[in-house]
Amino acid sequence: MTNKLTLALLQLPVTSDVELNVRRAVDGITQLKTNNPTLELAILAESFNAPYGVEHFPKYAETVPNGPTCQALSRVSKQLGIYIIGGSIIEREGDKLYNTCTVWSPAGKLIGKHRKIHLFTISIDPVNGGGVQFDEAAALTAGSEVTVVQINQQKVGIGICHDKRFEELARIYRHMGCSMIVYPSAFCICQGPMHWKLLQRARATDNQLYVVTCSPARDNMSGYVDYGHSMIVDPWARVQREAGEGCELIVEEIDFDMVEDVRRQIPIYKQRRTDVYTKVKTELSKLNIV
């Protein structure tokens, strides 16, 4: 039994036409599977079906799993017999909106639904006339559940963009047996050069697993400019594959034997001093710090 996985990252442009965006995603996955018969997993970007922005969220929200975007992903996953990590869409449930990633099996079944736990809030002071203000929480409700899905023999943790800044979540996935974490991301260009690669390499080396991100293609004329650079980082924290800024379809094979090799050679989790951590946490709690 092979321990390898062939996956695809679809770094696609996003317009205000939902039908066009979804059709591009479906056509892209179909094209990649046709050209690469061994393809087993396709990954889409955060907000791949509609513009990303607080002002857009209510307009483009859909239900899960019965909305048109989810139904399109269900059909193509079944038609092609592959897994799909469906980036994210804005989910409407009652009077609440969530930033939600859906995961589909080769049978077209919904096997995972991750609601973004850490909503993106940023307030960067103006420098030379610049500056960025953004607050997802003005329109969205935060998720409250971790999400692990089974893809072939591997457990895969799901996060969405800002979730990758929180090492506690990645560590939980590591303890739950995950060998890969996937973060569909619409990372903004203001943070990208500083933190995009850094955060992924940090989560990979902290937890000795694969970290995979998929971004929309960059559109410098949009109100929110995505960084691009969809990426695969291996358990040694090496960048195995990186996209550029524009529309790009990537197919890559990853070898999960590397996860066990790294954990065996640098056994940090066997060396963790939980007695020390527990003692310190107890002392800090007395000071109301944790």
Catalytic positions: 46, 116, 161
Gyration radius from the chain CA atoms: 19
Distances (CA, A) of 220 to 20, 101, 226: 20, 25, 8
The 10 Å Cβ neighbour count of residue 97 is 18
- How far from chain centre, in Å, is Cα 27? 21
With b for 16 or more beta-carbon neighbours within 10 A and e for fewer, the 170-181 pattern comes to: beebbeeebbbb
Interstrand relation of 4-11 and 248-255 (parallel, antiparallel or unpaired):
antiparallel
CB 46 within 8 A of CB 216: yes
Measure Cα distances from 122 to 77, 97, 131, 132, 146 in Å: 35, 19, 10, 7, 23
Handedness of CA 12, 14, 17, 22 (dihedral sign): positive
Name residue, tokens 């203001």.
Answer: 190
- Reading the block at residue 192, the tokens are 């990208």
Containing 200, the helix (H) or strand (E) segment is: helix 197-207
